[in-house]
Amino acid sequence: MATLTLSSVKKQFGATQVLHGIDLDVADGEMIVVVGASGCGKSTLLRIVAGLESPTSGTVRIDGRDVTALEPADRDIAMVFQNYALYPHMTVFENMAYGLRIRGMKMPEIRRRVDEAAGMLEIGALLERKPRQLSGGQRQRVAMGRAVVREPKLFLFDEPLSNLDAKLRVQMRAEIRRLQKRLGVTSLFVTHDQVEAMTLGDRLVVMHGGRAAQVASPMEVWGVPADTYVAGFIGSPAMNFLHATLAANGTAATLRSGPTLPFADGARPGEDGTPLTIGIRPEHVAHDAGGDALPLAIELVEPLGSETVIHGRLPGNEPLVARLPLAAGDIGGTLPVRLPPSAWHVFDAGGTRLPAHAAAPA
C-alpha cells in the first residue's frame, strides 16, 4: 500500500496544453475516481502516473518517492486496461503468472498467488482456458487477477468496464469495489461514466478542460457542486439551469420564467439586477399547483416504471426536466410545477457556486 502525490502536473503536446497543473494527494488505501468527458485530460493524467507519458512539468510521488522520471516497471504499480490486453496464446494461468515469471519468482509462490487471486475473482475453474474461450466479464476478471498477483503499491484502472454490457458493468464495478476494499490497495480509476464514479470512489476528481474542477467525496460533488460544469455533469438527468437576477435587496431571485422567489437560506448581499444562474435537480422539481407554481409545457414523457421523467418548457421558453414519482401529464399538455428554493444551487454569472451569504459579483 502507498500514498500518491501529484504536484503541479502539467502536460503539453506541441502547442496544446492538455493538463494545466494538477495537484492531488491520495491517501493510503484510498480509491480515487477521475471522471470527466472525452478530451478532459483524465487518461493523460493516468498515463503520467503509470509512467507511460512524461509530464511537461510537475512531480509524481509514490509513498514519498519521486518517480517522475522512472520507467513503469520501476514504479511498483499494476494497471488494468479497457481492452484487457491478454496474451491470446496463453492460458488464464499463464496470463496471470507471466509478470511474476519475468521477475524471476519461483513457481510455488507464483502458483500460490495465482490460485489466491483466482479464488477471490471466482475464476479458478478457468485457469486452463485461453482468452478466446472467455466472456467479456471473465476476461476482465483475468486482467484484474493479473494485477492482483503483482501485489503492487498502486492499482491504476483505465476505463476497464467500457467494453461490457450494462448489466455486467453493474456487477463488475461492485466486484472491483469489494476487491479494492479487501486488498486495501491505493487506487486511481479513470472513467467517463458518472454512475461508476459515484459508486466506486472514496473521492472524485472531476476534470474539465485539463483542470480539476472539483475534488471531493461523491455526495459532496453531487450536493455541493463547485460550478455549473460539475453540477451539470454529475447527476442523471442533468441539473436544470435557469436564468435569474438578484432582487428584493439581495434576498430573492427573479426567474426569467416569471416569479420572484426568496432564497431559502436568507439574504444574499449584492445589487439588484445582478445576473445569477439557479440550478435545480430534476428530482427536486415538485408537481404542485400551489400559489407559486409555474406551468410546464410538456414536450416529452419518459415512463421508467417507478418514476417518470418529464421534459418541457417554462414561461420564457426555458427548458426544464422533472423526475416525478408517478406518471403525470401528456405531450402537448401543461403540468403545474414548483421550484422549491430550499433545493436551489446558486451560481454567479461566470458559473461559480455562491455559498450562503456570499456576495454576488457586481
Whether residue 243 lies inside any domain: the answer is yes
Residues 189 and 84 in one domain: yes
CATH code for position 89: 3.40.50.300
Residues 14 and 141 in one domain: yes
Residues 267 and 242 in one domain: yes
Q: Report the pLDDT value the prediction gives residue 269, as an integer from 0 to 100.
A: 58
The number of domains in the chain is 2
Mode of pairing for the β-strands spanning 334-338 and 294-303: antiparallel
Convert the pLDDT of each residue in 15-58 to its tens digit: 999 999 999 999 999 999 999 998 999 999 999 999 999 999 99
CATH code for position 334: 2.40.50.140
Residues 173 and 84 in one domain: yes
Pairs from 301-308 (Cβ < 8 Å, separation ≥ 24): 301/327, 301/329, 301/330, 301/331, 303/327
Q: Which domain holds residue 323?
A: 237-347
Convert the pLDDT of each residue in 315-361 to its tens digit: 989 999 999 987 677 888 899 999 998 899 999 989 999 875 443 33
Contact assessment for residue 200 and residue 176, using Cβ atoms and an 8 Å cutoff: yes
Supply 309's cell numbers: 421523467
Q: Which of 211, 229, 247 is the last residue of a domain?
A: 229
Convert the pLDDT of each residue in 278-309 to its tens digit: 999 999 999 887 778 899 999 999 998 889 99
- Average pLDDT, rounded, for the chain: 90
Convert the pLDDT of each residue in 210-252 to its tens digit: 999 999 999 999 999 999 999 999 998 999 999 999 998 888 8
Would the pLDDT of 257 be above 90?
no
Would the pLDDT of 265 be above 80?
no
The whole-model pTM stands at 0.89
Whether residue 354 lies inside any domain: the answer is no
Q: Which of 210, 229, 248 is the last residue of a domain?
A: 229
Residues 172 and 287 in one domain: no
Residues 99 and 43 in one domain: yes
Whether residue 360 lies inside any domain: the answer is no
